[in-house]
Copies of this chain bind each other. A is one copy, B any other.
Amino acid sequence: MKLTYQGKTKDVYALEDGNYLLKFKDDVTGTDGVFDPGANTVGLTIEGVGKAGLRLTKFFYEKLNSMGIPTHYVDADIENSTMTVLPATLFGQGVEVICRYRAVGSFLKRYGRYISEGHPLDAYVEVTLKDDNRNDPLITDEALEMLGIMTKEEYKTLSDLTKKIGCVVKDELSKKGLELYDIKFEFGRIGEDQHIALIDEISGGNMRAYKGEEYIEPLKLEQIMLG
């Protein structure tokens, strides 16, 4: 088992059979010790957050797989904080796809002149490039195609999948009295046909969830959802 990549919140190991093992860490993204799912730096370490993230990820991925939504998920080992996944090819150096139900985060930072904080958005999808040095810049479908990152047809597939998966997560949260404000996903190309599939985790670290006016931290979110 070979360590192939050390991420901000996960390490990646190559398995003998061609699959990969993701090891969830207790680090979460944020700035100055405050959790922020949109941040590019590890802001703090919370004991148990890796395992909690994996439990939630397992919960959602098993649901998505059973619905026939394409993902990279094979199985999870909660005890060891690891998840086995299929190999995936990234779009360029990686893109993030955000689904927004309320105007918060980077959307509000950009368009705050036209919309107030928390204003409802109708599953609004946007794509950013994974690029820490350039603050994950927003990119249009046209630029993605021009830069050879994905075709407009792939963008459409990605956007539709994002709305579908976002809706699954939103509904599950809603069953526990939580409201999903936004969530970010990663996608890759998987298998011989290189079909588009969801990759990475689906945990509190990738979303903003609220209970009424109260923001719910990743660890607490997992407790509410699966506790």
Contacts and interface: CB of A to CB of B under 8 A. Distances in A.
For chain A, the bracket of interface size reads: 20 to 34
Interface of A: 92-93, 109-115, 121-122, 124-126, 129, 131, 133-134, 137-143, 146-149
User: 7 nearest interchain CB pairs?
Assistant: A110-B137, A114-B147, A113-B131, A140-B140, A138-B138, A111-B147, A115-B147
Nearest to A112: B134
Given A121-B146, A146-B121, A140 B113 contact: no
B113 A134 contact: yes
23 contacts: A93-B113, A93-B114, A109-B134, A110-B138, A110-B139, A111-B134, A111-B137, A111-B139, A111-B143, A111-B147, A112-B134, A113-B129, A113-B133, A113-B134, A114-B129, A114-B147, A115-B147, A121-B146, A122-B146, A124-B146, A126-B143, A137-B138, A140-B141
A113 B142 CA distance: 17
A113 B113 CA distance: 29
A142 B114 contact: no
A134 B114 CA distance: 12
Contacts of A134: 109-113
